[in-house]
Structure 1
Amino acid sequence: MLAFTTVAPYRRSIMNAATLSAVVTGLLSGLSLIIAIGAQNAFVLRQGVTRSHVGVVVAICAISDLVLIVAGIAGVGALVETQPGLVRVITIAGAAYLAWFGIRSFLAARHPKSLTAGEPVAKGSVALTALALTWLNPHVYLDTVLMLGNLASSHGPTGRWWFGLGAGLASIVWFTGLGYAAGLASRWFARPRTWQVLDVVIGVVMLTLAAVLLRSAF
């Protein structure tokens, strides 16, 4: 009886440590994949600066990430990996959309009338853009579904879901922080020149990503 009461708390401590390790690993892995500058982050940043439908954009990006993380942990990543044709179609479509978005950003930088932070934008248009930049980006499937799915599998049948919890928290924290913290910089964007710089940077990022995607597709 004494041996059982001694071993039971020890086992619980090991389980708790393993669970915490899986959550922390998932959190750090998720952050390492989404912090890099990309089309999605650039759009969240822009909406945050303009304070235009930030909640909608943050919710779409975070929920989409959660869905993709769950899919990767559930094993969908292995299915996607066996369909190179599907990945290629998504890659080309994503590259085309990024190129269009980049050109639009350059055009916006040329016209001062489009550089005001208070310019109204339809919520539906913002939501569709956020969805497109998320789901038409093949890197989302490669990073979130395949890579995180593989990393999660190393934590075992139960630990992989704790890993997923950590990765999901990373997405929620990052997109919420990026979207709402960007609003603090809005006073610097009262000048058209600052908006021009931001739009040019976003345009360069979008076109560069489009070129990289096309190169990977062929």
Structure 2
Amino acid sequence: MNIFLQGLTMGFAIEAPIGLANLFVINNALTQSRKRSYVAAFFVAFFDIALSVACFFGIGAIMKRFEWLKLAILLFGSLIVVYMGTNLFRAETTEIGSKDTELTMFKTISTAFVMIWFNPQAIIDGSLMLGAFQVTLPVSGYSIFISGVALASLTWFIGLNLVIAKFKDKFNARVLRIINMVCGAVIILYGLKLFYNFVILLIH
């Protein structure tokens, strides 16, 4: 139980800071139908759990060994993130859950995937945090620990969606438009930061 609780608390510590995934879940909870927002939250959690497992077992070490792979993820990740942020910033907000705002299932899933897996900083940070715990655990405790991390991820994103969706009716179109612009601007800045990291790494 102690190992499971360590994984659970570590999972919450990783998810709590506001980042791309949280912004994506918040925006979907505010602008999409309830059903579609839960789909988005579920797939964010699903891809996040997959990434946590990969980090736990050393994907960060692979990125460090193959510099070209890290460069490729930084470049494509930054461009895609900036593109998504730009679309969100420019999007016109209409009635929540209308056909004009509803994302297709493919776009919902693919965006969730990109937000999680095309973020090299999240991969590196996750590898450092989870990898550090791995060396302190017996092999028999690996599955217990990562189960705690997975439960934390699922609980966090579904819970975040639930809370935001519950109060979204209190926001009018103008407020949602402002939220879209703020989220879009933050995502664009995050993408530019990733591109800056790519340039610095390329120069050195």
TM-score (norm 1): 0.80
Displacement of 1:65 after TM fit? 2.0
- Structure 1 residues 107 and 75 mapped into 2: Cα distance closer, same or farther (>3 Å)? closer
Displacement of 1:146 after TM fit? 4.3
Q: Which runs of 4+ in 1 moved over 6 A?
A: none
Give the structure 2 partner of residue 184 of structure 1.
Answer: 166
- Determine if the alignment matches structure 1 residue 157 to structure 2 residue 139: yes
TM-score (norm 2): 0.85
After superposition, what is the alpha-carbon deviation per residue over 1:137-187, rounded to whole angstroms, capped at 9, x for unaligned?
213322334431332222121223322111111101101101222111211
- Per residue, is there more helix in 1 or in 2? 1
Aligned counterparts, 1:84-99, within 5 A: 84-99=67-82
Rounded to whole Å, the distance in 2 between the matches of 1:143 and 1:105 is 26
Unpaired runs of at least 5, structure 1: 1-19
> Out of 91, 98, 107, which is 1:119 matched to?
98
> Out of 122, 134, 159, which is 1:140 matched to?
122
Displacement of 1:115 after TM fit? 3.2
- Aligned pair count? 194
Give the structure 2 partner of residue 83 of structure 1.
Answer: 66
Report sequence identity in percent: 27
Unpaired runs of at least 5, structure 2: none
Q: What is the RMSD of the two structures over their aligned residues, measured on CA atoms?
A: 1.9
After superposition, what is the alpha-carbon deviation per residue over 1:15-53, rounded to whole angstroms, capped at 9, x for unaligned?
xxxxx2222221121111111111211111111123431
Rounded to whole Å, the distance in 2 between the matches of 1:64 and 1:202 is 21
Displacement of 1:193 after TM fit? 1.6
- Structure 1 residues 75 and 100 mapped into 2: Cα distance closer, same or farther (>3 Å)? closer
- The alignment partner of 1:201 has SS state of helix
Give the structure 1 partner of residue 49 of structure 2.
Answer: 66
Larger Rg: 1
Rounded to whole Å, the distance in 2 between the matches of 1:38 and 1:130 is 13
> Out of 34, 40, 46, which is 2:15 matched to?
34
